[in-house]
Structure 1
């Protein structure tokens, strides 16, 4: 199932009749009157917008403006989240088995040894504040889980470009040298075992 179409479908089902009428009115300059009169649901309106290429997975500014105009900030934030998170990575964009093993070991060490300053590390890795806030909200009062989920988010985001060397570099960039040393110590036997 196309994630963008699923998102549009969820938007459609949450629109009130008044909001749909407002959206139709706002589209008058872009869609013919006769076509608009036949629209009975958000899904039908979104279908027309897709057909006329006014919206697409990578072209959401018109849709965002429409949703803002009808004061649906909740839907605007869902749309922004969708754009920010992008598509689910393809299987060929995943790290190889050896790199995954190294990452798993490195993440265990990091989660055992990085404390309250974990956000500094995650920022250094390039994970957005929005994603971190969402992870914190989902796991309140559980630092270990917040860090674990944030590192998984980084792995998912980077795909096959997620490297243990990046984790070590980020640790050193945050002056977490002791943790970086522990990661390297743990990985040394794993690295030698694959040669």
Structure 2
């Protein structure tokens, strides 16, 4: 069974009627009024969101925002836990906790500092054009999210072989030396904190 569907099912059963009404209201821009009228449970709503590719196991930002808006921080934290632990890759194909922490910090610095040339960097990391187009289509108006999801896609694809050193090498290969320096500085800072 799909762990993401199991998670959505448990979310559905924990929603009150008023919370479901609030979620339906918040989804009015994404889902037609007629379809929303047919929604009787969280499962119905999540099914539509899945169908319209607004949510997926590797794309939970919409769901997270919805739960924050109805003040269900417990569901937000379950979602974050799933995001961190429920990756598609097998656990033995994941980087160790130390490397994951460094990757997360590096990606934050990169997203904050790389501008409109982000696609050049993602291509340097060998993320396929098809994946890139899919990510852009899924997040049409949010460049930062497109970039972030592209880097996450690289992480998933590489698994254990996703190294911060590769990110730095790609940055330097794109003549983004200032950003590469900032990443190295952040990693040095993290290293000092853990020592």
TM-score tier, shorter chain, comes to 0.5 to 0.7
Encode CA deviations 1:88-139: one digit per residue, 9 max, x unaligned.
Answer: 4211000000000000000000000111111100010010000000000000
The offset of 1:194, in angstroms, is 3.5
Structure 1 Cα separation of the partners of residues 90 and 108 of structure 2: 25
Correspondence for 1:18: none
Structure 2 Cα separation of the partners of residues 117 and 156 of structure 1: 22
Larger radius of gyration: 1
On the 8 A contact 1:115/1:143 being kept in 2, the answer is no
Is 1:92 the counterpart of 2:92 in the alignment? yes
Correspondence for 1:111: 111
Correspondence for 1:191: 191
On the 8 A contact 1:106/1:183 being kept in 2, the answer is yes
Q: CA RMSD in A?
A: 1.3
TM-score by length of 2: 0.54
The offset of 1:141, in angstroms, is 2.0
Correspondence for 1:153: 153
Secondary structure at 1:89's aligned position in 2?
coil
The offset of 1:189, in angstroms, is 1.5
- Structure 1: segments with no counterpart, 5+ residues: 3-87
Correspondence for 1:181: 181
Q: How does 1:57-136 map to 2 (within 5 A)?
A: 88-136=88-136
Structure 2 Cα separation of the partners of residues 173 and 194 of structure 1: 29
The offset of 1:140, in angstroms, is 0.7
